[in-house]
Structure 1
Amino acid sequence: MEAPMHPLFTREGRKDPHPIYRRLRAEEPITRIVEPYRKIPFRLLTRYADCSEMLRDPRFGKDFTKWSPEERQRLRVSDEFEALGKHMLSADPPDHTRLRSLVAKAFTPQIVEGLRGRIATIAEDLVSAALARDASGMDLVSQFSYPLPVTVIAELLGVPASDQDDFRRWTTVLFTPADTEEQLAHLRATGFAFFQYFMQLIERRRAEPQDDLVSGLVAAEEGGDRLSTQELVGMLFLLLVAGHETTVNLITNGMLALMDHPEQHERLASDPSLLESAVEEMLRYCGPVETTTYRFALEDLEFGGVTIRKNELVVASLLSADHDESRFPDPDRFDVGRKPNKHIAFGYGIHFCLGAPLARLEAAIAVETLLRRLPRMRLAIPREELEPSSMLLLLHAKKRLPIVF
């Protein structure tokens, strides 16, 4: 008899997982659940201390090439996704160390700071375009939260504006559960389209380098070592997906939190010096990434009082950890001035998000622009009608966010 679907994967659980996480933290902080679409069992960690400890524990790995072909088949990883998956997020040391150091050379804080003016211009233009299209309101996701970061990362990579809609379509497919052969075939075709596109873009930049991140990654070298073509493709895939999908959710979730808490909205609007701490609180309170990607035990081990067997999958809930009562005073209170605020919304340990400075910058500019240009914005539909963008645990996101000005 098939086990019932875990409450986290139900429609109500995806809309509001916090009551479920609260119970798990109290009663079963390391719980075994099954992802219902591919029937994959894994351990879910929900407490801050366990999550942060696991994310820096070298006994857990991310390089699934260490698994046998039979074991990898459990995850239904196709050749296309094997090719896209060779990047630093799916690597262990020493490969991770090498990949991250090479990418960091082409993704410096100076490059990020140099984008400030362009990000501000894009944000202003998006609000102006929305007002010109409809002076009464818009869908914040499709008309602002999505086009802002996707335009920034596409320009940073050197992807033409004409191709940006393809990326939105492709990433939508990648974050949609696939549990039929037809859906899996569509998923594989999407992975192949991504792979082919990046292969062609890399070859063009090798032939004619430009002032963009792809050219920088092609040229990046350390100790005579360069990224292979497959590593370049995987890294571009990671930067594009992680570089826009998460920021879309950060902006959307953050603005929804402000609309849910009018007193905090007014507090931030009247005191712009709180912008930096407000973004950190948005990351903690309603972070864009709900859980980490899969890790697996490299050996039989004891962790948090639980026996975890070799190759058993483990996932940390960043969203739950950042609402842990033992770490954050009054964690379910949204406070734009909260300090200290040592959340783990960007992960922890060696896989801490390399794009965190860019996400913070984009969110700060987006929030400031929206507060200034649309000071009376509010939800256009009842709060309970908002739908999650995916039934997977990975992202904490809304499909749409209709607002009136």
Structure 2
Amino acid sequence: MNVANEVVEPIENLFNPASNEYLENPAPQFLALARRGRLVWYEPWQAWIMTRMPDIMDCWRTEYLSSDFYDWEFAPERPPEDKWSNYERAMIGHSLVADHGHHRMIRKVVSPAFSRNVVDEIQRRIKPDVVKLIDSLGDLESFDYIEKVANHIPFITISRMVGLPEKYWPEIKQVVLTFTEAWNPTISDERREAARQDSNRAIEILQRVIADRRANPGESDFLSVLLEIEEENESFSDWDIITLILALIGAGSDTTLIAQQWTLYALLKHPEQIEAALETPDTFSNAFSEVMRWSYASKMGFARYAPEDMEVLGQQVKKGQMVLLMPHLKDHDPEYYEDPERFDVKREFKPDVLFGYGPRYCIGAAMAKRQLYLTMVELFKRFPNLSLESEPVLDNSEHNAVVFRELLVRTGINK
């Protein structure tokens, strides 16, 4: 069919994550965007959107686009090396995000730090804190899960996982809350600088903790495993340890909070599937992929940047332009998933791309899923009759995700 003379409706009329229609049901907007083409220019975001899974997986696998935030045309100017603080030394000089070769090397040497045994040990370490947090709810008949539980889990998990002494927790808690703001150009210069200074203070603490742990070994936490790896690999340094921990903070704060609320909401909407979902860590791993597929949490996806003027999927992309990889566009597509509106914790994912694919597959995925599994298990053990008190009000103010303003639940303790 000849479409050269057809009037094509602007894509921003069909896809608008800021709209009320998106909050009510974004699936039609997902499909409209994906059907527009493999690579679509989206004016409101000044970015290209990559819509099809084979293309996204190829981009992840071959890494022909840059992951370096400073390659973005709208990024703050890259500071010269003589102006670097510790934050820039970590995020530029030893960036696991920007340098593809270094990233692959680090993944190879640190893989023992993410083994099943280490993840089991981390669960053992964080369990008492999670149990204490949930027990502190006492005999409440109802509560806001986000306020009382979800907001606290990322900090507890990261601190115990890394092995940070509790005396440093107040200062580290601040950077867990603000770290991702340090490279967010959409906020004020003052706010971004405050987050950068939070990160600098956190790095100073990490340097002290690393020095102390090296002088007094014996712990079985994530940091100790990394120090053992450092001893056996000349190319692996303290700065690599610091950037790995910062990466865990970045990935484990906002995303974990979002995952916490959507996971509980999905399970409470489908109580007949809770037992199957929480049977084992492995069954939960699969169930969590279904939670995030079924949810409408994702909005923008994964950012990449054109390192030079180049052709991408038949489109001329200019140096510095953002390319957003948006795998969630497939999540409610009946051509990709059978009966996509049905929630099924036993649904098969082949491949499972929730945490990326290829060399950019999230190395901390197992840890993230394990702390979610532990929280859900302990929550339903404490409150086996837990239910939704009301449908949560969706909050569309986050630039990268749809979240809940609150998630009110009833404990059922008086039943």
Tell me if TM exceeds 0.5. yes
**Contact (CA 8 Å) 1:25, 1:47: kept in 2 or not?**
yes
Q: 1:113 aligns with which of 102, 120, 126?
A: 120
1:135 maps to what in 2? 140
Q: Provide, for residues 166-210 of structure 1, a one-character-per-residue CA deviation record: whole Å limited to 9, x for no partner.
A: 444333334456433332332333333333332333333344335
Counterpart of 1:51 in 2: which secondary structure? helix
Asked if 1:312 is matched to 2:321, the reply is: yes
Counterpart selection for 1:60 from 50, 65, 83: 65
Q: Is the 8 A contact 2:130 2:153 kept in 1?
A: yes
Q: What displacement does 1:10 show?
A: 5.8
Cα displacement string for residues 237-265 of structure 1 (whole angstroms, at most 9, x for unaligned residues): 11223234433322221111223x3xx32
Larger Rg: 2
AA partner of residue 22 (structure 1): L
- Which of 308, 332, 342 is residue 323 of structure 1 equivalent to? 332
**TM-score, normalised by the number of residues in structure 2:** 0.78
Shift of 1:90: 0.6
Q: What does residue 85 of structure 1 align with?
A: 91
Residue 49 of structure 1 pairs with residue 54 of structure 2: yes
Counterpart of 1:200?
A: 208
- Structure 2 Cα separation of the partners of residues 14 and 160 of structure 1: 41
- 2:410 equivalent in structure 1: 404
User: 3-state DSSP class of the match of 1:7?
Assistant: coil
The 1:287–1:280 alpha-carbon spacing in structure 2 relative to 1, beyond 3 Å, is farther
Residue identity in the other structure for 2:192: L
Do the aligned residues in 2 keep the contact of 1:281 with 1:341 (CA within 8 Å)?
A: no
Q: Paired residue for 2:189?
A: 181
Matched, 1:296 2:308: no
Q: Classify 1:358/1:209 alpha carbon distance in 2 versus 1 (closer, same or farther; 3 Å).
A: same
Unaligned runs of 5+ in 2: 1-11
* Pairing 1:371–2:376 present: no
Give SS of 1:96's match: helix
**272, 292, 295: which one pairs with 1:266?**
272
- C-alpha contact 2:73 2:321 (8 A) present in aligned 1: no
Retained in 1: the 8 A contact 2:66–2:304? yes
Aligned pairs, number? 386
Residue among 108, 117, 126 paired with 1:101: 108
User: Where in structure 2 are the equivalents of 1:177-256 lying within 5 Å?
Assistant: 178-211=186-219, 212-221=221-230, 224-256=233-265
Question: What runs of 5+ residues in structure 1 fail to find an aligned partner?
Answer: none
2:155–2:176: 8 Å Cα contact kept in structure 1? no
How many angstroms apart in 2 are the aligned matches of 1:325 and 1:168?
42
The one-letter code of the counterpart of 1:387 is D
Evaluate the alpha carbon distance shift between residue 175 and residue 243 of structure 1 in structure 2; reply closer, same or farther with a 3 A threshold: closer
For the residues of structure 2 that align with 1:309 and 1:188, how far apart are their CA atoms? Answer: 29
* Change over 3 Å in CA distance of 1:318–1:196 after alignment to 2: farther
Residues 1:15 and 1:94: Cα distance change in structure 2 (over 3 Å)? farther
Q: Secondary structure at 2:136's aligned position in 1?
A: helix
| 2:299–2:399 Cα contact (<8 Å) kept | no
Does structure 2 conserve the Cα–Cα contact (< 8 Å) formed by 1:346 and 1:353?
A: yes
Corresponding residue SS for 1:315: strand
Alignment partner of 1:94: what SS? helix
In the TM superposition, residue 381 of structure 1 has moved relative to its aligned partner by 4.5
Q: Is the 8 A contact 1:88 1:99 kept in 2?
A: no
Task: Evaluate the alpha carbon distance shift between residue 120 and residue 59 of structure 1 in structure 2; reply closer, same or farther with a 3 A threshold.
Answer: same
Q: Is the 8 A contact 1:171 1:241 kept in 2?
A: yes
In structure 1, what residue type is equivalent to 2:407? Answer: L
Query: Does the CA-based 8 Å contact 1:220-1:226 persist in structure 2?
Result: no
Verify the 8 A CA contact 2:113 2:225 in the aligned structure 1: yes
Q: Residues 12 and 73 (structure 1 numbering): CA distance in 2 closer, same or farther, change over 3 Å?
A: same
Amino acid at match of 1:386: L
Deviations 1:251-284 (A, max 9, x none): 221111223x3xx322334785564542231133
CA contact under 8 A between 2:307 and 2:320: conserved in structure 1?
yes
Partner in structure 2 of residue 74 of structure 1:
75
Aligned-residue identity in percent: 23
CA distance in 1, matches of 2:365, 2:73: 30
